[in-house]
A and B are shown apart, each in its own frame.
Chain A
Amino acid sequence: MDIIDILFTASFWAATIRIASPLIFATLGELICERAGVLNLGIEGIMVSGAFAGWMAVYSGTGLWVGVGVAMAVGMLFGLLHSTLTVPFGLSQHVVGLGVTLLATSSTYYAYRLALPEVTSPPKIVAFQPYEIPLLSDIPLLGPALFSQTPLTYLAFVLVAVVGLVLYRTPLGLAVRAAGENPAAVAAQGLSVTTIRMGAVIIGSGLMAVGGAFLTMSAFDSFFFEMVNGRGWICIALVVFGSWRPGKAMLGAVLFAAFDALQIRAQQTSLGAQVPYQIFLMMPYILSILALVVMSRRAEVPAALMVPFNKGER
């Protein structure tokens, strides 16, 4: 099969949407944090914790949606830790973020080893199944790609609209954006910058964890070490790529996912027989860096990103 032919298969587009879904959850989560002025480098670890927590909950007998809730709650706990240290106490967002990633990852692995001490291959759960939307899923090419996905994927795309609406059309969204642009003005309005920022980081971290849970509860059906594999860092690049806007960030995630789906399939082609597979695996990361270079020039970085706000300081 040729590379061009791949682009016209429904399975390629279905895979693209599937690969994009966890990225969309986590990118939206990071975007909310950064819009409020906090860089959350805990994302990678929080995704690992969400992937395990959601899967473990379902494995222990809860329903799938309860599992998503558990993942979100665990993510929010790490968000609470991150924001407590970075917002009222103003600690370095780089160091705390990396610390949270390390803590979330290692405590997840510790919990996994304690919960399942003697397993060589992790047990499986019954994951979310594709739900074919009546009528729409019958459209050729588009139907199987867009409208026969799991409910969690639909939720990801609905959330893009919800986050966009809240950020740009509600007083709450205005307060969040202002906390990231001009916290002093927010404080002058009598609002608490600390509360807004902490809230944004906690909600954002919850979404990151749901992004992780997508991997174990929708894309696959069990938990593996290293399964997040740098997706969190890619989401940070996607936020920049999307100029801190939910819609653009979603487009970035889909573009990135299309590239990822393409490289997996290109490995099976005659080209893949000649080129080492590592070259294909490198492509998504190289693409992310190139995207950053192109977009950084005209990106509208939130003015107070990574700037702690301390009341009474001028």
Chain B
Amino acid sequence: MRLEPINNPSFGRKLVPSALALSATIVIASLLAMIAGANPFSVLGLIIKGAFGSKFALLETLNRATPLIFTGLAVAVAFRAKFWNIGAEAQLYAGALITVLLGTGALAWPSGLILPVIALIAVFAGANLLLVPALLKTRFGVDEVVTTLLFNFIFLLFISMLLEGPLKDPMGMGWPKSARLIPEARLPRIVEGLRLHWGFALAIISALCVWVIQTRSTLGYEMRAVGLNKQAAGFAGIPVNLVLVKTALLSGGLAALGGFSEVAGLKGSLTLDLSPGFGYTGIIVAMLALLNPLGVVIAALFVAGIFVGADSMSRAAGVPTYLADIMLAVALLLMVFAIMLTRFRVVRD
């Protein structure tokens, strides 16, 4: 068996494998629901209803999608240049940390000033956190997959240390939790009365900016060139290492903005369970979006919908919520397989 590239894939070839991959994901999820002793149709119905079925459900999904758009963008930007940033989790916490460091009273400015300043410094912190693995890669050839992964563990322990030490809220009844942000440092709601904050709008704007950078700027061109073929990019005069470092800075900054948005928009303080793995889920979001920044928004809504829907389904049908994670893993694996099928023909020899 071998693979033959297809030069001009037909419309059907582009569409059918992906559609089959999503259908197969639903079939597998149904089988798993049956193993758990539930009716698969009602389980799938409950997931959809729990995610999009009411105004409350929809807002919950949009809120859950917000950090995933940021981490999804962070991963998409990095993976496009084949810089394997698996550390969006830590970078998100870096942004969250800056938000509580500056937003709990250290800066007593009006909203219009304090929010942009905190957001910028958060971006700076997240970018710098990824700068270390990036430089270790370009200077010493250390694989960034392992370093960014290990950084997640180190940085979460660091946050835990701060939350049990200098950052601990004296009013927190002994919980490892930071003080609450001052009202000026909170992101307001987009519409008064609806539980959706400006972080969501910021996420959409970020997606548009990344799309512009990727399709309309020299840096975007260089990032794609480095991702496609490092040697060729080097021969063409592209400073490969510099492009990788810039990519890392952009990626880390985007993830950190997600941390800022979660704390300033939703939670109001920092705890160790701020992120239930948004950084890792961002990888799935980015892959399902085929690394396209605008696709990230749609993929994040889809992924957030499955999580929110599975939570409410689990309460109603008694099927473990881990069904959501299995569905996403299966969807991820089948989608990369489907994408391969749109570009290659499998030939028997």
Contact = CB atoms under 8 A, between A and B. Distances in A.
Contacts of A237: 146, 150
A62 B44 CA distance: 36
Residue among A90, A96, A285 facing the most chain B CB atoms (10 A cut-off) = A285
B157 interface: yes
Interface string A159-197: 000000000000000000000000000000000001000
Contacts of A285: 150-151, 153-154, 157
Interface in A100-117: 100, 102-103, 105-107, 109-110, 113-114
A99 B332 contact: yes
Interface in B37-93: 84, 86
A264 interface: no
A278 interface: yes
Interface string A62-97: 000000000000000000010001001111101110
A236 interface: yes
21 contacts: A94-B84, A95-B336, A106-B328, A107-B329, A110-B323, A110-B325, A230-B149, A233-B146, A236-B146, A276-B161, A276-B165, A279-B161, A281-B157, A285-B151, A285-B154, A286-B154, A288-B146, A289-B150, A296-B142, A296-B143, A312-B2
Nearest to A82: B333
Contact of B136 (A90, A94, A98, A293): A293
A276 to B, nearest CB: 5
B153 A230 contact: yes
Contacts of B328: 102, 106
Prevailing SS type, chain B contact patch: helix
A230 B90 CA distance: 14
B241 interface: no
A90 B153 CA distance: 31
Contacts of B154: 282, 285-286
A153 to B, nearest CB: 25
A75 to B, nearest CB: 16
A110 B84 contact: no
A278 B160 contact: yes
A41 interface: yes
B3 A102 contact: no
Contacts of A311: 2, 349
Contacts of B110: none
Contact of A99 (B141, B329, B346): B329
Interface string A276-308: 101101100110110011001100000000000
Given A91-B336, A289-B150, A278 B325 contact: no
Given A282-B154, A296-B141, A240 B146 contact: yes
Contacts of A233: 146, 149-150, 153
A102 B279 CA distance: 13
Contacts of A293: 136, 140, 142
Contacts of A129: none
A11 interface: no
A182 B196 CA distance: 55
A223 B34 CA distance: 25
Nearest to A232: B149
Interface residues of B, number: 46
Contacts of B160: 278
Contacts of B32: 110
Contacts, number: 130
Interface in A258-288: 276, 278-279, 281-282, 285-286, 288
A297 B139 CA distance: 10
A310 interface: yes
Interface of A: 41, 81, 85, 88-92, 94-96, 98-100, 102-103, 105-107, 109-110, 113-114, 194, 230, 233-234, 236-237, 240, 276, 278-279, 281-282, 285-286, 288-289, 292-293, 296-297, 310-313
B146 A102 contact: no
B150 A98 contact: no
Given A107-B329, A278-B157, 9 more contacts: A41-B145, A102-B325, A113-B322, A230-B153, A276-B164, A285-B153, A288-B146, A292-B143, A293-B136
B333 A103 contact: yes
B340 interface: yes
Nearest to A292: B142
B35 interface: yes
Nearest to A109: B322
B109 interface: no
Contacts of B153: 230, 233, 282, 285
B287 A103 contact: no
A287 B140 CA distance: 16
Given A102-B325, A285-B153, A96 B336 contact: yes
A160 B32 CA distance: 38
B158 interface: yes
A103 B336 contact: no
B320 A113 contact: yes
B326 interface: yes
Contacts of B322: 106-107, 109-110, 113
